[in-house]
Structure 1
Amino acid sequence: MKKTMYNLGVLLFVLTVLISCNDPKKSPEKDGDSITISKDEIIDESFLTEKLQSKLTPDTVYSILQQRNKEYVEDNLTIRNTSERIRKASLGQFPGAVVLSCLDSRVPVEDVFHSGIGDMFVARVAGNISNEDILGSLEFACKVSGAKVVMVLGHEHCGAIKSAIDNVELGNITGLLAKIKPAIARTGNFQGDKTSKNPAYVEAVTKSNVLQTIDNIRKNSAILREMEEKKEIKIVGGEYHMETGKVEFLTQ
């Protein structure tokens, strides 16, 4: 079976955290109403150790996230031995990345990056905004637990983005949406209908909001800013496209 080739750092990461590197286009064999899955197509029960995690670079982990999303887009199912991984993960965790995602139930973060229990930290909040609690969680993931990449993940058709555009006011949602308003201001040069009914405008604000959150992380977390300056971590963004499953990786 064809194997994906990685450099040494990637190979270590793949062998200890992520699923086996099978051809992503291969599908499980079907027999009537049954599906036969070979053992090497299941995400294994191995995890990064502290020693192996320390040898990884942010660029290596970022490349793996990109490759894993490619596998997801090509319909390589995320098949897990969940019970075994739960038992193994109970002894400790050393994930390679932390993903700050929207609350949206249509964005299955671990699946999007073809991963399982113990592979990555996931923080969720509507509109993938940052506040004190989110920043503390990201700092824990990176400074305390050694994650190498912070990924801010927005997505198409985001209800929080549309609500912010529409100036929705409702309970504590009002304060949350206020944190998205600067992203709307950043799209002031957008040419076209600036309403939530215009998919192109919603997408422009979505991308702007991802970049705005990245700016806020750097501005409001001295810990993460210093780690990035020392190249100990990489802070990146992406937009998840629901129709295809593809993450459009954004740089800033």
Structure 2
Amino acid sequence: MRIFCLLFLFVATIMLNSCRQQSPETKTASIDDEKDTLTIAAEDVLTSDILTKEEQAKLKPIDVLERLKKGNLDFTKDNLTIRNTTERVRKSSLGQYPKAVILSCLDSRVPVEDIFHSGIGNLFVARVAGNIVNDDILGSLEYACKVSGAKLVLVLGHEYCGAIKSAIDGVKLGNITTLLDKIRPAVSATKTSFSGAAVSSNPDFVAAVCDENVRLAITKLRAGSPILKEMEEKGAIMIVGGVYDMNSGKVEIFK
């Protein structure tokens, strides 16, 4: 047990050393081998950035987008902070006023909150294989924006997506078939302009279909939800797309 604790403390210390790019003189994290305890500097603990309703209302969509970009940069550079989860749970228990809503793929390799250096109460996250759009997703995004005040909708695809590959291969299996049917228009559209091998074993083609699938999802959001379309036209929200790079952790944002 002691060996496990020491290993945990060693890993935690490495993580802390990458936080906020502080100089060694300002770091006060320390390990007490006698008590198997870890001391963390107060400035390395994010006590809270949970918004109130009034603070959320003052946000502009472009500011939220820049916050996500900054959070993603922190993620790629390991400039992360320790979060006081217990405090955040308490502060968000009676209400939620997230900045944005992310429509993400189901993939376990895409930890949405971590990617944007966000925590409890910061983001709505809707997850479904292939980040496809259906009536339930539309209703969820409308709730996030129109009812709960989120300022940004981000459709997030990712590299090496299994749903994309399955759609390319024409997989038919139970209810997965109808889900993949919503991705196949992106496959067909990509084939018309792609010059290489249009197969799932070609990573360039898979990436191109992924990008197109995100763009078509955005189009479906605007066409399928007059509420979101009107909010976007009035500047109350932004609707953007992005693709997560599995190797670097970077999210490439596009409209």
Aligned residue number for residue 9 of structure 2:
none
Q: Deviation of residue 41 (structure 1)? A: 2.1
The correspondence for 2:155, drawn from 152, 155, 158, is 152
Q: Deviation of residue 185 (structure 1)? A: 1.8
Amino acid at match of 1:63: E
Q: Is 1:95–1:121's contact at 8 Å kept on the other side of the alignment?
A: yes
Q: Deviation of residue 43 (structure 1)? A: 2.6
Q: Whose Rg is larger?
A: 2
Counterpart-to-counterpart distance in 2, 1:70 and 1:220:
32
SS of equivalent to 1:72: helix
Q: Is 2:19–2:80's contact at 8 Å kept on the other side of the alignment?
A: no
Q: Is 1:25–1:75's contact at 8 Å kept on the other side of the alignment?
A: no
Higher helix share: 2
Determine whether 1:210 maps to 2:214: yes
Counterpart-to-counterpart distance in 2, 1:46 and 1:77:
14
Aligned residue number for residue 19 of structure 1:
none
The correspondence for 2:193, drawn from 175, 189, 204, is 189
Superposed, 1:82-161 pairs within 5 Å as 82-161=85-164
The correspondence for 1:241, drawn from 226, 245, 251, is 245
Q: Deviation of residue 156 (structure 1)? A: 0.5
Aligned residue number for residue 179 of structure 2:
176
The correspondence for 2:44, drawn from 30, 41, 46, is 41
Counterpart-to-counterpart distance in 1, 2:204 and 2:31:
44
Question: Where in structure 2 are there 5+ consecutive unaligned residues?
Answer: 1-17
Q: Deviation of residue 182 (structure 1)? A: 1.1
Seen in structure 2, the aligned counterparts of structure 1 residues 72 and 103 have a Cα distance that, compared at 3 Å, is same
SS of equivalent to 2:78: coil
* 1:212-252 alpha-carbon deviations (Å, 9 max, x no partner): 1000000000000000000100000100001111001112x
| Identical-pair percentage | 58
SS of equivalent to 2:197: coil
Q: Is 1:98–1:120's contact at 8 Å kept on the other side of the alignment?
A: yes
Give the TM-score taking structure 2 as reference length.
0.85
The correspondence for 2:64, drawn from 61, 82, 89, is 61
Give the TM-score taking structure 1 as reference length.
0.86
Q: Is 1:94–1:146's contact at 8 Å kept on the other side of the alignment?
A: yes
Question: Where in structure 1 are there 5+ consecutive unaligned residues?
Answer: 1-21
Seen in structure 2, the aligned counterparts of structure 1 residues 100 and 78 have a Cα distance that, compared at 3 Å, is farther
Q: Is 2:19–2:78's contact at 8 Å kept on the other side of the alignment?
A: no
SS of equivalent to 1:100: strand
Aligned residue number for residue 25 of structure 1:
21
Seen in structure 2, the aligned counterparts of structure 1 residues 244 and 35 have a Cα distance that, compared at 3 Å, is farther
Q: Is 2:19–2:81's contact at 8 Å kept on the other side of the alignment?
A: no
